[in-house]
Structure 1
Amino acid sequence: MPMFGIHSALRYEIVGEYASLFLSLLILVFMVLTKPRQSKAFSFLLWGNVTSIVATVLMIFIVEIASNTEYYSRSSFTILLIVFLVLYALILVDTFNYINLMSERRIQRRSVIVMIYILVAVIYFSGAIYQVAMKNFYYVRTDGIDLTHFTRYYCIAGIVCATICFAMCFQRRSTISRIVMRGIYIVIPLEFVVLFAQVLDRNSIFSAATYTLPFIAIYLLFHSNPYDEDTGCQNVGAMESRFITNNKMGRVFYLAYIEFPQLLGNSRNPNYETLTLELADVCRKIERISRKIHLYRVNYGTFIAIMEVKERSDAENYADQMRDILEDFYKTDIDHIHYFLGVGGDSRRFVAQGNKWTQFFMKYIKQKYMVDGQNVYIFANGSDFRAYDDIYNIEQTLADIRAKMDPDDDRILCYAQPIYSVRKESFRSAEALMRLCIDGRMIPPDEFIKIAETTGCIHSLTVIMMHKVCKAVEDLSLEYDFDALTINCSTADFVDKEFYKEIMDIIHTYNVDQKKIRLELTESMMADSYDAVKYNMNMLNMEGIQLYMDDFGTGYSNLERVLDVPVQTIKFDKSLLYKSIEDSRVEDIISYMIDTFKKNGFITLVEGVEDEKQKNYSINRGFDYIQGYHYAKPMPIENLVKYFKKK
């Protein structure tokens, strides 16, 4: 139906424009409601959709004027056409930018993209200026205005843009995900069909579909955050979006982590459907506490609630009501499903970096406070946040160290503790000890080694330490007389059957005698991967690398296993030393083991000697080497010159 009262003989069918406008408005509403992640790609999609709405409204207005010349003015009508062409150009730019964001390599070549922009823009607007000057865009007839040349012009521009986009994506298809390329293979050919159809059709205007439908497809495929059909909660993507948006806007909010440990990985439970309905009921009850609570499902059995409140008292009130709901669920459920409810401090304690805030609950709070078979409710305090900040900083630093793999990384500090030879009455060796430096603060091994092992960074630290120790040995060997420096290795190192090759490659990089490099490993390392560990030990031993059995006597000791591997030195743990001094029965066992090892050709070393009494005891029991604070504390490795004799 025309917008104006007077009918004209020339009419354009614009149902397609109205349908596209409706769909664009609908998608805009969905974008607002579902809160997708606010990425750079999404910003192009959002503004492209808004621009398409304005352009479609303008096109409908242009067509109505073309059908009713009573309201026609050449200058005003020409301005409307030019404005539409500008909007259409913006839509093409948004589309072009979005498609280029699909390839990281293409993003890195911004100069190429800018050159293409300039070239296409010059051609597009030069042609438009020429058409306006020559009055070729439209023709005024007695029955209306013929817009055929105008629609053909911008549709051809759309065809050119689609061709360029398709060519660039095809060229970079190895850097674009498979599902994205499948979408491109479907959507762009459909674009060609619709654009060519618009070029050939003189009686209908439906070009809005050429830019509205791609935006809709992109949103549905890559940005929509559908609600979980079982529990009615949004997913993690929506949760991250709300968190980041609130953080950017300076809103204070609290987080509640809800987990049902018995349900994790339990989607095949025979009571799955019943449990799902019960969980959905729990979710609705939690949401009904307040409109300021937004609940999200992380996985089956895990939920996170964002409570948009400023005061801690309000958060505690909401958390208490959540606990009551979870307690009712526990009591009424036939399986008595336990729950864990952890509530975090206000958002000012978090940073919108990665997923630090979810890790705080899942890695720290849960591990610290969760008790199997019990319901747990905890409101995290300041000390929890400070402790996790330290852990998080260590994790990020270790990840960066692993990514760079710089042998000279100054965040890895190489310390050493001299080892005293009882027979020679001098320091003949030293144990290399790793330290981590973050923002000028020294981190001891007991704080970062376990984190390095759980995050897969420990091998990188071993490699870097090996480089630093080899360099230190190379420098010390020029002027000082010593036997060797030892390096600690982890289980993750020795279970890799190629580990010995990597060690030897590093040693051969430096001008050192490989016999001056020794490795320490704990007996516990052989518990689960005995064959792989023994293989590396045998290969290293064949290369002339002496091996130490560290922490002997800490609970894994097995004489038969120790005798079965090529270890030259047995390093007794300090706990065994302390017990033997206090308990004569342990003393007898220690004396027997020392004699047994010596008879079988082993060297014995005791660590943790801190006073004169322990020193005399260790010497009287026949230990070959002694290590501990009584003789020397750990120091920067270059300070070993104070303990080794010059040649």
Structure 2
Amino acid sequence: MYSNIGDIFTIIVCIVLFFVLHMTYVQKNKRLMFIKLALCNLIYASTFNMIFNHYIEKLPIASHKDIMITYLTHNIVQISLIIELGLFIFYIYDLVNYHNKISNAFIIVLTAVFSILELTSIKTHVGFYINDEKAYQYGITNIFLVWYIIFLSIFTITIISKNRVIINKIYFTVGITFFISILIMFFQYIKNIETFTNFTFLLPIMVIIFIFHSNSYNTNFGALDRTALANSINDLKKKNKSFAFVYIKIPNFNEIATDNKTTQDYKQFTKYMQYRNYLFRYNDDTFVMTFDNDFDYELMEKLFNDLHSKYQMSHNVIIILNNNICNTLVDYIDLCEDIEKQANSSFYILNNDDLINFSKILKIKKELEDIANQKNFNDERVLVYCQPILDTKLNKFTTAESLMRLKLNGLGIIYPDVFIPLAEKNNNIHILTCIILNKVCKFIEKNPEITRISVNFSMYEITNPKFYHDIYNIISKYHFDLNKLGFEITETVEAKDFDIINDTLQRFRNLGIKIYLDDFGTGYSNIEHITKIPIDIIKFDRSLVISSGQSEKSKYIVSNMSDIFYNTNYNILYEGIEDNNDEHRCMGMNAEYLQGYKYSKPIPIEELSKFINQQP
């Protein structure tokens, strides 16, 4: 028994879904291709299934031509559904990151074999065929049903054995959907109904699209999420379309987000600006719009100023015109965030100099990623500079602080204030630390006359469980007294990380390594943490050196702080010494070590030998 309502419904829904997937900013990946192919297959299968059932009804009086059309349409339907199941398997393989050439080839071969069996059944009578009495029947088996059972087995085994990415709730939802589809198929089989066969394939596709390929949409503003924005940018770049990227930052936007006036003002804004594209919400306070390159910038600035007056809320608007420097959403957002820190205006249009500077940043990021991937502790792009430190008791340069530089082709020497934030943001800082440490250890081993060289570490780097192991593996390759090595840290530790950092530093200190507290006097310093962390030397920041020279009150405070640390057996180092006045003043405040441009700027580590044990 058959009714074409199921196939008509399936065709309509497939066309709508295909159109939605094509028009919205879903990620253009392999899985989306499988979904689109599956929708096309279902449209073919449903269309020809209606034709097939029309001719099946005419079989008792069918002509030879009618019989051949029956065979042809049946083969198209069955092969389409056989391919459909193959596409489902490939989708699941890609979803769970199971990329095995043999398994892929096996599925292709199985799909081909069952398709051939279906095509040749007219002669072999293995599956569907029409007998001499012009009645259809199945020979040995229903070929498609066998393939369906094999598919269910492969699907179940793959999900259970290979799934590492699907969370349980989604796993359960997809499983229930397939279970419902199987029940419908089983119900049809026992009742001899074929109305909803193709719908059973559409049902899991609809669920998969909703879960894995839908966009988060805000009905108040028509705002899509950052995933949709990334896909939109990729799509525009791929099609080589010219556009302007408009970055809009409205701090505390959530305070007015639910106000109906806000929605009305947004609609008025889009009307005046003749904006017909989507609004994208990158995060709570950041929105993005994509305009044609020649839109009215002055009108936009006026409208934003009007909104500012109305709501008394600050805003930053940054416009990036079409360019070949930014290629991804990450590039656009990074550039806007950098400009936002520097721009003096709430409305800023990027100029060519901004893009040239950012192209340099992108090159540095690429080099940092390559350095991290290479994991070469002797990488020539990472340079060690050192600033000599004066021992005030001996009046000689006995120690030094190591500092980092990058030397990149086409860019020259890059300073830490440029590349350190990039390395920290992209998780490349640890490999740089390891490279510097390795080169410092190599230098100390070759120059045993030096008392000590210190290396800077990030507190957050120390919280990594692999930190101690990585660092110990480097220093254990070299043969020198480890008290010739110092580790500099900044006191920015959070309470939850304190025990981890304290334990790690104590383990290094037990090896003989000296621990420095760097930048004391900047920000908020927790005295409790300072007294509990195993610190040997406290480095008073340049800001305290300056402050102590500005007034007697400031000098009194700095001097008394140094007395406290000195009397509790900490060594005192002042950094940022630039002239005789700085030197004289710090000598009167328990200075045991002095560091600064008065003695030497940072120099390549290869030149440090000429300072070792020399007087200033």
> TM-score by structure 2 length?
0.81
Q: Distance in 1 between matches of 2:600 and 2:351?
A: 40
Of 246, 270, 275, the match for 1:287? 270
Q: Work out which of the residue numbers 98, 110, 118 in structure 1 matches 2:101.
A: 110
User: Matched residues in 2 for 1:381 and 1:581: separation?
Assistant: 42
The alpha-carbon deviation at position 24 of structure 1 amounts to 1.2
CA deviation vs aligned residue, 1:414-466 (integer Å, no higher than 9, x gap): 33233355665654322211224555643212223345556665555445533
Q: Does 1:138 align with 2:119?
A: no
Question: Which residue identity lines up with residue 239 of structure 2 in the other structure?
Answer: M
RMSD: 4.5
What's the counterpart of residue 19 of structure 1? Answer: 9
Match of 1:416 in 2: 386
Of residues 475, 479, 492, the one that matches 2:460 is 492
Query: Counterpart in 1 of 2:352?
Result: 382
Matches within 5 A, 1:213-252: 213-225=203-215, 227-252=217-242
Asked if 2 retains the 8 angstrom alpha-carbon contact of 1:44 and 1:94, the reply is yes
CA contact (8 A) 2:222 2:279 kept: no
Deviates more, 1:628-637 or 1:252-261: 628-637
Gaps of 5+ in 2: none
For residue 516 of structure 1, report the CA deviation from its aligned partner.
Answer: 0.8
Tell me which moved more, 511-520 or 492-501: 492-501
The alignment partner of 2:401 has SS state of: strand
2:261 match: 278
Report the Cα distance in structure 2 between the residues aligned to 1:614 and 1:30, rounded to whole angstroms.
70
Higher deviation after alignment, 59-68 or 500-509: 500-509
Q: CA deviation at 1:49?
A: 0.7
How big is each residue's C-alpha offset from its partner over 1:451-483, in whole Å with a ceiling of 9 and x where there is no partner?
555666555544553344334323434xxx221
Correspondent of 2:300 among 319, 322, 343? 319
Q: SS at the partner of 1:293?
A: coil
Equivalence map 1:33-182=2 (5 Å): 33-68=23-58, 69=62, 72-75=65-68, 77-104=70-97, 106-107=98-99, 109-118=100-109, 120-134=110-124, 137-139=128-130, 146=136, 152-182=142-172
Seen in structure 2, the aligned counterparts of structure 1 residues 23 and 445 have a Cα distance that, compared at 3 Å, is same
Q: Does 1:353 align with 2:331?
A: no
Q: Which residue of 2 aligns with 1:474?
A: 445
The 1-side partners of 2:488 and 2:181 are apart by 65
State the match for 2:417 in structure 1.
446
**C-alpha contact (below 8 Å) 1:497/1:536 kept by paired residues:** no
Q: Is the 8 A contact 1:458 1:492 kept in 2?
A: no
| Residue number among 513, 538, 541 corresponding to 2:481 in the alignment | 513
Mapped partners of 2:285, 2:551: distance in 1: 51
The 8 Å contact of residues 66 and 72 in structure 1, kept in 2 or not, is answered as no
Query: Quick one: structure 1 residues 14 and 159, their matched pair in 2 at CA, closer, same or farther if it must change by over 3 Å?
Result: farther
Q: CA deviation at 1:28?
A: 1.9
Give me the whole-angstrom Cα distance separating, in 2, the residues matched to 1:244 and 1:56: 34
Q: Determine if contact 1:162/1:188 at 8 Å carries over to the other structure.
A: no
Residues 258 and 339 in structure 1, CA contact (< 8 A), matched pair in contact too: no
Which sits farther off after the overlay, 551-560 or 149-158? Answer: 551-560
Cα distance, 1:508 vs structure 2: 3.9
CA pair 157-565 structure 1, distance change in 2 beyond 3 A: closer
Give the distance between the partners of 1:88 and 1:543, measured in 2 at CA: 68
The question of whether the paired residues in 1 share the 8 Å contact of 2:174 and 2:208 is answered with no
Alignment pair present for 1:435 and 2:397: no
Question: Do 1:548 and 1:571's aligned partners in 2 also have CA atoms closer than 8 Å?
Answer: yes
Unpaired runs of 5+ in structure 1? Answer: 1-10
For residues 141 and 8 of structure 2, what CA distance do their matches in structure 1 show?
Answer: 17
CA contact (8 A) 2:229 2:329 kept: no
* Separation (CA, whole Å) in 2 of partners of 1:224 and 1:385: 34
Report if the CA contact (8 A) 1:261-1:338 is conserved.
yes
For 1:355, what is the secondary structure of its paired residue? Answer: helix
**1:473-622 matched pairs, under 5 angstroms:** 473-477=444-448, 481-492=449-460, 507-522=475-490, 525=492, 541=509, 543-551=511-519, 568-569=536-537, 571=539, 573=541, 605-608=573-576
CA contact (8 A) 1:232 1:280 kept: no
- What letter matches 1:319 in structure 2? M
2:244 is the alignment partner of 1:257: no
| Compared CA separation, residues 590 and 303, structure 1 to 2 (3 A) | closer
Q: Answer yes or no: is the 8 Å Cα contact 1:402–1:457 preserved in 2.
A: yes
The aligned counterpart of 1:6 is none
Partner of 2:605: 637
Contact 1:604 1:623 in 2 (8 A): yes
Kept in 2, the 8 Å contact 1:416–1:636? The answer is yes
Code of the residue aligned with 2:388 in structure 1: it is P
1:298 CA drift (Å): 3.6
Correspondence for 1:7: none
Distance 1:60 1:409, change over 3 A: farther
Per the TM alignment, residue 515 of structure 1 is displaced from its structure 2 partner at its CA by 0.8
CA distance 1:411–1:175, shift in 2 (3 Å): farther
Q: Which residue identity is paired with 2:453? A: L
Which moves more between the two structures, 420-429 or 225-234?
A: 420-429
Match of 2:338 among 336, 343, 364: 364
Greater Cα shift, 21-30 or 449-458: 449-458
2 CA distance for matches of 1:13 and 1:530? Answer: 67
Name the amino acid aligned to 2:279: L
Distance 1:150 1:30 in 2: 42
Give the structure 2 partner of residue 8 of structure 1. none
**Residue by residue, what CA displacement relative to the aligned partner does 1:187-225 show, whole Å, maximum 9, x if unpaired?**
322333344445555564432123222222211222122
Matched letter for residue 112 of structure 1: S
Deviation at 1:517, TM superposition (A): 0.7
* Secondary structure at 2:179 match in 1: helix
Deviations 1:135-168 (A, max 9, x none): 56331677x7637679933243233223212221
1:295 maps to a residue whose letter is: L
Preserved CA contact (<8 Å) 1:256 1:343: yes
Equivalent position amino acid for 2:338 in 1:
Y
Kindly indicate whether the alpha-carbon contact (under 8 Å) linking 1:140 and 1:146 is maintained by their aligned counterparts in 2: yes
Tell me the SS of whatever aligns to 1:221: helix
Structure 2: how far apart are the matches of 1:521 and 1:585? 29
* Residue pair 1:344, 1:379 contacting (<8 A) in 2 also: yes
Tell me: CA distance 1:310–1:166, structure 2 relative to 1, closer, same or farther (3 Å). Answer: same
Moved more, 43-52 or 120-129: 120-129
Amino acid at match of 2:181: E
**Secondary structure, aligned partner of 2:142:** helix
Counterpart in 2 of 1:342? 317
Q: Is the 8 A contact 2:444 2:484 kept in 1?
A: yes
Cα contact 1:484–1:515 (8 A) shared by 2: yes
- Distance apart, 1:98 and its partner CA: 0.9
2:287 to 272, 294, 303: 303
Task: Report the CA distance shift for 1:72/1:284 in structure 2 as closer, same or farther (over 3 A).
Answer: farther
Task: Give, in angstroms, the shift of residue 278 of structure 1.
Answer: 2.4
Q: How many pairs are equivalent? A: 607
- Tell me the amino acid that sits aligned with residue 481 of structure 2: D
Q: Do the aligned partners of residues 239 and 315 (structure 1) sit closer, same or farther apart at CA in structure 2, a change above 3 Å counting? A: farther
